[in-house]
A and B are shown apart, each in its own frame.
Chain A
Amino acid sequence: MHIAEGVLSLPVLASCAALSAGGIALGVRRLDEARMPLAALLGAAFMVASTLHMPVGVGSVHLILNGLAGLLLGWAVFPLFFVALLLQAALFSFGGFTVLGANLLIMAAPALLCHVLLAPLLRGEPSRRRLLLVGAGCGLIGVGGAAVVAALVLSLSGGRLFDHLIGMLVLTHAPVFVVDALISALALNLLWRMLPDMTRELCP
């Protein structure tokens, strides 16, 4: 869900950039030296995992997994998604340099919400059902929240002009919403079973 260059108005671009810069600064401050490689590895892992495709109908949807990343990484999603979006803008022309702040907010704000709301539910010995529910919640909040923030910045920029565009964006992301929730649920459950101690340490 990347917004292209030239769509958003200048005030919206500037305020998104300022908010994102604050998020990045906070995220970097919370990453101590020893956890840097762990964060970089998980960031790279999520970038690679989000290129996986699920065939749906005639096309296919790629995963976003921003919610699951948020659950495991907390504030570090701001600098890590910044890195991912910078590379995507430079190497693939997805998004762009001036909308980097807005796109970062779209991806990272719901991810952080997942960490705040859902990580406390995993304290102690969560049951399989709870793991599946938390994982599905990550997909729903992550992708749904991204759609909400994208709609918000678009309507702040262009008012009613972007109504149809917002509708189209939400419509084209409906399959991603479902697939992301299901995959996040199953993946979190598997990850917890394979490496219980390390996963528990990630989301205290």
Chain B
Amino acid sequence: MTAPQRLLLALAGALGAALLQQTWQLLALLLVAGVAVLVAAVLRLASVRWLLRRVALLNLFVLLVWLTLPWHWTGGGLAWNPAGVEAAVHISLRSNIAGLLCIALLAGMNAFDVAAAAARLGMPARLAQLLLLTVRYLGVMQQTRQQVQRAMQARGFRPRCNWRTLEVLALQVALILVHALLRAERVAQAMQARGLAQRVRAPARKADLVGVATGQESL
């Protein structure tokens, strides 16, 4: 199956789970989803540990639902609520059908594959362009984050629940944004140099750029 087909099937599964009303129908679809995950595990599309972690993560919200829905307050205290139990069962089934199908069908795909597949499924051209660009820069920004974090760890920073940690985290956020803005400046200049963009913002003052560059190095 090609990547767009896999994504389309995952979408259809989620839609099916939302539309089906009978418990037995949902159970049957859950069976299909469970088999799909098993097939993904057998075909080694992803490691079993990764699949299990994803399934556990998926059920965190379901756990929250089971902690809250089956109870209601009466005059005397907590009481069992049958309507809540039924709703919780349906939510668990729907959540797991959509989640398991998504995990099985998209196993082994990365952000680029997902974005390319979504773009090919008839997304408006400009939105698809934005999606692909964002994924392309996601890696760049992750690297920036790692750089900044390593620099801070090298200076003995350990996150704790105190004011200093807040300040350092805010600095990390600001630095990541500064990197993004400076990179955007360079991209805009490169586009202008190639005659691609008609309207480009005026470059920032030289002094600011120099100040930031030295600021990063001293960090």
Contact = CB atoms under 8 A, between A and B. Distances in A.
> Are A and B physically bound partners?
yes
Interface of A: 2-7, 10, 13, 24, 28, 31-34, 36-49, 51-57, 63, 65, 68, 72, 79-80, 82-84, 86-87, 89-94, 96-98, 158, 160-165, 167-169, 179, 182-183, 185-187, 190-191, 194-199, 201
A146 to B, nearest CB: 16
A31 B191 contact: no
Contacts of A63: 169, 173
Nearest to B181: A198
Q: How large is the interface on B (under 10, 10 to 19, 20 to 34, 35 or more residues)?
A: 35 or more
* Most chain A CB neighbours (cut-off 10 Å) among B136, B160, B178, B180: B180
B197 A55 contact: no
21 contacts: A5-B14, A28-B126, A37-B187, A40-B130, A44-B134, A44-B180, A47-B141, A49-B172, A54-B169, A55-B159, A86-B114, A86-B131, A93-B102, A97-B10, A161-B69, A162-B68, A183-B169, A183-B170, A194-B208, A194-B215, A195-B212
B14 A161 contact: no
Interface string B160-202: 1100011101111110111111111101100100001111110
A86 to B, nearest CB: 6
The 7 closest A-B pairs by CB, nearest first: A6-B94, A186-B170, A40-B133, A164-B68, A190-B174, A45-B180, A38-B184
Contacts of A201: 201
B40 interface: no
Contact of A6 (B54, B95, B171, B188): B95
A5 B142 contact: no
Given A52-B172, A55-B161, A93-B58, A165 B10 contact: no
Contacts of A195: 178, 181-182, 204, 208, 212
Contacts of A198: 181, 185, 204, 208
Specify the main secondary structure of chain A where it touches its partner: helix
Contacts of B142: 48
Interface of B: 7, 10-11, 14-15, 17-19, 54, 57-58, 61-62, 64-65, 67-69, 71-72, 83-84, 87, 90-95, 97-99, 102-103, 106, 109-111, 114-115, 118, 124, 126-127, 129-131, 133-138, 140-142, 144-145, 159-161, 165-167, 169-174, 176-185, 187-188, 191, 196-201, 204-205, 208, 211-212, 215
Contact of B165 (A6, A54, A92, A190): A54
Contact of B91 (A6, A57, A191, A194): A6
